[in-house]
A and B are shown apart, each in its own frame.
Chain A
Amino acid sequence: MLRWIISAVIVLLFVSVLYLLSYVGSASKLYGNVYSITEKGIPVYSLRSSSDVYSFWKSHGFRGRVVLHLGRYLHFVQVDETEIYLGKGKFPVKTSIMIKEYEQKLDNRNFLWIVMQGNIARQIINVLPPDAFREKLSGIGDDLTGISLTGHEIITHYLGSRRVITDRIPALREPVLINIDASYFEYSDAESLLSELRHSGITTDMITFCFAEDNPEVTEKERQRLDEFAVILLGKKV
C-alpha cells in the first residue's frame, strides 16, 4: 500500500510542477489593453529608430511577448561579447548584467536580438516582403539543422526560442507587439499590407512605426510609404 501511495505522490508532484511552470509562464507575460487592427483608437506610435522602439517597449514593461516585425531585415545579429570578458580572467570574477552590456551596443542590426535577450519577446516573427523572403530562402543551403521549412515559413530558433521568418502575416491567437519598419515598403504597397493585416484577425496592444533613421539602407521613399500606410490605417498622419 505504501508503494502505491508514494507512486501517487510522485505523479501528483509531477502534475503540480507542470501546473506551476505553466502558471509561472502565463503570469510572466505582460500585456497592455488589446485591440484588433480594425478597431478605432488602436494606439499607434511613430518612432525614429529601432533603438527607440526597444526603449519604448521596455518603458511600457512588456515581457514574454510575441513580436511581429514587418521589415526587410531580421535585426538579429548577435552582439560581440569579447569585450565584456576582457580583464575578467581573475578572481574574484567581476560579473556584469549581460542585458546592460548588450543595450550599450544596441543598433538596427541587433535590435530584435536584444529584444529577446531583454525578455521583452519570447518569440519573434519576421514578416519579410516576398522578394526578401525568397532571398532568405535561397540562402539557406542544404544544411537544415535547426531549421524547418514550410511553403511560406522558415521556422528556426535562438537557443530554443522560436523564430519565424515568413512572407505573410500568420494567424495568431495571442496578442502581439507589432512593429512596422519602413524597410518593408521597398516594393510592397501600403494597401495590400493593410488588407492582409485586417484579414489576419491579429490583435495587439499597440503598433509602432519605425522610420529606421538608424538604418542607412532605408530610403526616404520607403519612409514616405510608411507615412502613407499610417494615413490609410488611421485616416490621419501619425
Chain B
Amino acid sequence: MKHFYILLLVITILGAFMRVYKIQEQPPIMDEVQVAFSSENYMERGQFGPTMPNHPNLRNILVYASMKTIGTDAYGLRVFSLFLGMLGIPLLGLLVYRITDNVSASCFSAFFLAVDPVHITFSRQAIQEVHTAFFFLLGVYFVATGLRARFPSEVKDTINKKHILFIMPEVVFPLAGISFGLGLASKAHALFPMLVCFFYSVYVAIRLKESKGTLVLFLVSLTILPLTVYLLTYLPWFARGYGLFDWLFMQKSLMEMTATHTGNPMDSMIDLRPGLWFIKPFMGYGNFTHFEGKPFVTIAMGNPLVWMLVIPSTVYLFFKNVKGRWMLLVLFLVSYLPLVFSSRPIWVLSSIAVTPFAYGIVGVTVSEVANRLGRKALYVYVGLTLSVSILFYPMTNGRAWKFDYLRPFIERLNPHEQEILKGDLRNR
C-alpha cells in the first residue's frame, strides 16, 4: 500500500507540473476575462453573466474569493481550477481503488487523468469544468467509502450483508451530499453521478434490510443536503429581491436555456457530437486569443491512445468479471449517455464530466491486460501515452501555433474557417 501512495504522489506531481508550468505567462482567454467580471457582478450585485449566465454560480464565488485574496493575476483567477484540477488526480486514484481494490488500475486511472490534455487545458483556465469533476468525484468517493465492500475480488458482485461494511455513514454521507451540492453548483453534470450514488445507496440499504434510520440518512444526505448547498450559492441573487417561487422560475428558465444553447459567435462549430469522442481521434475544442501581438491558441483534445480504448474497455468489462466493474460502468454510462443523446451541440470541454469514469474503466482494463502481456508492453504503452500528451502539451497552454506539427489541429478548429453560428439570441 505504501508503494501505491508513493506512486499516486508521483503521478500527482507530474500532473501538477503540467498544470502549473508557466501558468502566469499564459494570457487569459476572453472567457476568463469575463469570469473576472462575472464574479464581481454576481457577488456584489447578484447579477448573472456576462459569461455563462445560464450555469450555476459556485465558480463566481470561488474566483471572487481568490481575486480578492490573491489579486486578478493568473493565480488569482486560476488558483481554484489549478488546485481542484491537481487534487482530482489522486482523488480519482483513490476512488478507483475504493471501488476495485486494484492498485495498478487505480494508478493507471490517475495517470490518464494527470496527462489528459483536456483536463490540463481546463485546469489552466478559470472556468468551472474541473471544479465540477472534482466535486462529483469527491461525492462518489465518500459514498464508495460509506458502502465499502469488503469482499475479495474473486467473489461476484452480489450484495450480501457480510460483504458490505458501512463505514461511518453518519459522517461520510453528509460529506457526500455537500460535495455533490458543490458539484451541482458548479455545473449540472454532477447530477448524473449523484443519481447513481443515490439509487445505489438506497438499493443497498433496502436490500440489506438496514434500519430506517440508515435509509433516511441516505435519502436526506443525497437529496436535501445537495439542494441546500446549491440553494445557498444563490444568496447574492436572492439579495436582489427575489423569493423562492422566483427562484423556481429562474431555474426552469435557465435550464431551458442550457438545454437549447447552440453556441456563441466564435465558438468552434465542429466536434459537437459526444457519441464520437471515443471513436474519432483528434476531436477538440479551440480557443483563440491575441496577446501583445502574438496569437495564443489553446486546444483541448483528448489523448487518442487513451480515448480510443474507452469503448473496447467498456465492452471488455461487460464480459470480464472484475470487482467494481458495474459501479464504474454505470457511473460512466449514466454520465455519458445523456450527452450522447442530447439534441443540442456538446463541446469537447464537457468530456471532463465523463472521462474520470472512462479512465477508471480503461485503467482496470489496462491493468488486466498488462497481467497477460507483461510489464514490457505496459511500459511501452505508458511511455507512448505520456509522449503523446507531451506532444499535445503546447495546445493546453496556448503555444500550439509555435509548433508546425500542431498546425493541422489549429487550422481544423480555426473559427474563421468554419461557419460561425449566430448564437442563441436569447443568450446574447
Within 8 A of B (CB), among A18-34: 18, 20-22, 24-26, 28-29
Given contact pairs A10-B174, A81-B50, A24 touches B45 in the complex (Cβ within 8 A)? no
User: A63: which B residues are within 8 A, CB to CB?
Assistant: 240-241
Q: Does A97 contact B (CB under 8 A)?
A: yes
Interface contact B241-A122, CB-CB below 8 Å = yes
* B234-263 residues at the A interface, CB under 8 angstroms: 234-235, 238-244, 246-247, 249-251, 253-254, 256-257, 260
Q: Considering the chains assembled together, what is the distance between the CA atoms of A29 and B249 in angstroms?
A: 18
Q: Please, how many residues of chain A have a CB less than 8 angstroms from a CB on the other chain?
A: 50
Q: Which residue of B lies closest to A62 (CB)?
A: B241
**B77 contacts across to A, CB distance below 8 A:** 91, 93
Inter-chain contact A18/B231, CB cutoff 8 Å: yes
Contact A25 B238 (CB under 8 A): yes
- Chain A 89-133 against B: per-residue CB contact (8 Å), 1 yes, 0 no? 111111111110000000000000000010100110000000000
Q: Which residues of B in the span 21-74 have a Cβ within 8 Å of any Cβ on A?
A: 24, 27-30, 32-34, 36-37, 40-41, 44-50, 53-54, 71-74
Give the interface segment out of B107-115, B221-229, B364-372: B221-229
**B213 near A7 (CB under 8 angstroms)?**
yes
Within 8 Å by CB of A92, from B73, B211, B214, B238, lies B73
- Please measure, in the bound complex, the distance between the C-alpha atom of A87 and the C-alpha atom of B308, giving whole angstroms: 41
Q: Nearest chain-A residue to B256 (Cβ)?
A: A146
Could you tell me if A90 and B27 are in contact, using CB atoms closer than 8 angstroms? yes
Please tell me if the beta carbons of B238 and A88 are within 8 angstroms of each other in the complex.
no
Q: Mark A10-53, 1 if CB is under 8 A from B, else 0.
A: 11011001101110111011000000000000000000000000
Number of A-B contacts (CB under 8 A): 168
Q: Does B376 count as interface, using CB distance less than 8 angstroms? A: no
Asked whether B50 lies within 8 Å of A98 as measured between CB atoms, the reply is yes
Q: CB of A64 within 8 A of chain B? A: yes
Expressed in whole angstroms, the Cα–Cα distance for A85 and B48 within the complex equals: 17
Flag if A160 contacts B28 (CB, 8 Å): no
Taking CB as reference atom, which chain A residue is nearest B214? A3
A55 CB within 8 Å of chain B: no
User: Which of A3, A11, A28, A89 lies in contact with B28, CB distance below 8 A?
Assistant: A89
Report the Cα distance A145→B244, complex, angstroms. 23
Assembled-state Cα–Cα distance A16/B52 (Å): 29
Let me know if B319 is at the binding interface, CB within 8 A.
Answer: no
| Chain A min CB distance to B22 (Å) | 13
Contacting pair B45 A11 (CB below 8 A):
no
Q: Of all chain B residues, which has the CB nearest A147? A: B426
Residue ranges of B at the interface with A (Cβ–Cβ < 8 Å): 24, 27-30, 32-34, 36-37, 40-41, 44-50, 53-54, 71-74, 76-77, 169-170, 174, 177, 211, 213-214, 216-217, 219-221, 224-225, 227-228, 231-232, 234-235, 238-244, 246-247, 249-251, 253-254, 256-257, 260, 289-292, 426, 428
For this complex, 13 residue pairs linking A to B, each with C-beta atoms less than 8 Å apart, are A6-B217, A21-B235, A21-B247, A85-B30, A89-B27, A90-B27, A98-B45, A122-B241, A145-B260, A157-B249, A159-B254, A160-B250, A162-B249
